């Protein structure tokens, strides 16, 4: 006997799906107007000093630019959102544009990043290059060869990958190589558990157990402050990088997860 799905059951399924979708309350972190809610920390400057207007909003786009720099001078910078998060999905649309500022390192060409599970900007040393964090490295192609994006870098940290402690500083994802077009990156973060990277909806990397590297000089004060020897990182700041190549963001939003 052929069985058919009752129309009322179909309706219930549709309503459940609609309710679930409606309950996804994505919150914009970038308001499209100004840097309200964000704090810059640029190397050699105090937290809050936006040296040479590095971070600015123009035409609804959050821009990282260097037109007021004479040269980069290893002034690595980060723009921190003023709250910490633990379990969430984060998505952003970005593109890497223009020319690298004079004095930028070769490896930093067409290179930026989103830092998660990071330390607070006021805890960074005045000459500290990068916050202790997990970096989602954002790259675009250099005109030839493979150069994936949404890679993993680990300033002052380690992760567990494929069941083993992973201590390589940078690890490539499985993404394709992009040019100067807008790219959407999404992160799924579960505290000190799994973290996943998606590019334009495709899963390109996953790992778990983000943790401090106890041998790293910048991480040691954070480890010592805990007093219990626990290295796992279950929450932290979110920031975007300035590494000497201009980059733009037109959307940064978060969906907090209950866990």
CA atoms of 258 and 244, how far apart (whole Å): 37
Mean pLDDT of the chain: 93
Beta pairing partners, 40 = 79
Residue 85's pLDDT is 98
Confidence bin at 23 (pLDDT 50/70/90): low
Confidence bin at 259 (pLDDT 50/70/90): confident
CA atoms of 121 and 115, how far apart (whole Å): 12
User: Percent of the chain beyond pLDDT 70?
Assistant: 91
Confidence bin at 20 (pLDDT 50/70/90): very low
Tokens of 2: 């052929």
* CA end-to-end distance (rounded Å), the chain: 44
CA atoms of 53 and 47, how far apart (whole Å): 14
Average pLDDT over residues 61-71: 98
Q: Is 86 exposed, middle or buried (0-12, 13-18, 19+ CB in 10 A)?
A: middle
Q: pTM of this prediction?
A: 0.90
| List of domains in the chain | 26-256 (2.60.120.560)
* pLDDT tens digit sequence for 85-116: 999 999 999 999 999 999 999 999 999 999 99
CA atoms of 29 and 92, how far apart (whole Å): 10
């Amino acid at each position: 006997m052929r069985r058919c799905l009752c129309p009322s059951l179909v309706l219930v399924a549709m309503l459940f799906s609609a309710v679930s979708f409606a309950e996804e309350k994505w919150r914009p972190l970038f308001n499209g107007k100004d840097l309200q809610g964000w704090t810059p920390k640029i190397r050699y400057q105090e937290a809050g000093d936006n040296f040479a207007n590095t971070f600015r909003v123009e035409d609804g786009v959050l821009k990282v630019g260097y037109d007021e720099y004479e040269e980069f001078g290893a002034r690595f910078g980060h723009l921190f959102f003023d709250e910490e998060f633990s379990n969430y999905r984060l998505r952003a649309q970005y593109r890497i544009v223009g020319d690298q500022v004079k004095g930028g390192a070769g490896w930093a060409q067409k290179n930026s990043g989103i830092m998660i599970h990071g330390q607070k900007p006021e805890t960074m040393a005045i000459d500290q290059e990068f916050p202790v964090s997990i970096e989602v490295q954002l790259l675009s192609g250099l005109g030839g060869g493979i150069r994936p994006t949404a890679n993993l870098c680990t300033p002052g940290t380690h992760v567990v990958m494929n069941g083993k402690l992973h201590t390589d500083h940078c690890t490539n994802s499985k993404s394709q190589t992009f040019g100067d077009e807008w790219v959407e990156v999404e992160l799924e973060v579960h505290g000190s558990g799994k973290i996943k990277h998606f590019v334009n909806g495709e899963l390109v990397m996953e790992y778990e157990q983000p943790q401090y590297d106890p041998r790293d000089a910048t991480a040691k004060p954070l480890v010592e402050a805990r007093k219990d020897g626990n290295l796992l990182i279950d929450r932290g700041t979110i920031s975007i990088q300035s590494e000497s190549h201009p980059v733009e963001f037109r959307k940064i939003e978060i969906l907090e997860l209950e866990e």
